[in-house]
Chain A
Amino acid sequence: MSLALSTQLICFLLLSGALLLGALGVVLLPNVVYSAFLLGGVLLSMAGLYLLLNASFVAAAQVLVYVGAVNVLILFAIMLVNKRQPMRPMRVLLLRRLLSVAVCLGLLALLVQVALTTPWALPGPPSIGEAALTRIGEHFFTDYLLPFEVASVLLLMAMIGAIVLARRDVLARDVVTGEPADQALLERQRPPFLPSQGGSSPSAPSPR
């Protein structure tokens, strides 16, 4: 985008600040619903960063796919599985958190070190700006044609897999034997085989 330098810098700082704060909120807030809404904000600021990087098509795809589909899907999942119960306390939770903070900070230091010390081949070829959309289309239908088609198969497989995994009703008769299927087996009232919170026996009976 043809913005002035200071505007670009301000946009970058605002967007990356919103991105990082929102990401911290996603992993730290106790209420998972707030996390999901903050995730939407994170994805929107990511789309803004894409716009700063001259990638309007990917920014639009990000808004459509991530904010429009994935985030809504996550909200629906929260709505379906949200069980307001406190998690069972664990003993070494604090130690684990501190250890993982150390590991993540180490990883961050490594990545930043690599990013800052590698001699990137700058400046690269001049950006083609808004003509990138045409170029992406050419890529999709010439040298990346096979991945493009495989991606459609992948989406189909994911759709069928999600339906099969999440559906509740079952076939009326067994596919193999042709006998009427035992619906009670699949729709039975499940006994709470995890003992309710703070229960006595940690060894749950193995599920069928």
Chain B
Amino acid sequence: MTITDIPLQAYLVVAAMLFCIGVWGLINSRNAVRVLMSIELMLNAVNLNMMAFSSYLDGAQVRGQVFAVFIITVAAAEAAVGLAILLSLYRNRDTVDMEQFNLLRW
């Protein structure tokens, strides 16, 4: 079958919106858990781009899907390590407010 119904650009625009929402959340969240969730949103936006390109432009060799699987793997590892860091940071400083994680500020 062919996918000519929905244009490729529709997927790209949706992914761009999702990425921008993720960037906004990353900048503005004060809860450290929400920062990690924003990173997941951004990774998903990239994945959506990969899948759209893989399906529309590379239908025979679905290399975009392979890359998406790798991105999912790395995102899982990132979430595990990030939440472990968050947990030990919470034990150390007794808060999850990003504004108070200022040990490395000059």
Contact = CB atoms under 8 A, between A and B. Distances in A.
A155 B73 contact: yes
Nearest to B97: A87
A26 B41 contact: yes
Interface string B74-88: 111111110111111
Interface in A67-123: 69-70, 73-74, 76-78, 80-81, 83, 85, 87-88, 90, 96-97, 100-101, 103-105, 107-108, 111-112, 115-116, 120-123
Contact of B57 (A100, A115, A122): A122
A170 to B, nearest CB: 13
B66 A139 contact: yes
A139 B63 contact: yes
A26 B38 contact: yes
Contact of A27 (B29, B54, B92): B29
Interface in A43-86: 43, 46, 49-50, 52-55, 57-58, 61-62, 65-66, 69-70, 73-74, 76-78, 80-81, 83, 85
Nearest to A117: B9
25 contacts: A9-B5, A26-B38, A27-B29, A35-B34, A53-B3, A55-B65, A55-B68, A58-B51, A58-B69, A66-B76, A74-B33, A74-B40, A74-B83, A81-B87, A107-B19, A115-B13, A116-B9, A127-B1, A127-B3, A128-B62, A136-B65, A140-B66, A166-B83, A166-B84, A194-B93
Interface residues of A, number: 94
A179 B17 CA distance: 57
B82 to A, nearest CB: 9
Nearest to B61: A135
Given A20-B14, A88-B97, A127-B1, A73 B80 contact: yes
Contacts of B31: 32, 87
A193 B91 CA distance: 12
A16 B24 contact: no
Interface string B1-23: 11111101111111011111111
B22 to A, nearest CB: 7
Interface string A119-138: 01111111111001001100
B69 A74 contact: no
Contacts of B4: 123
A70 B75 contact: yes
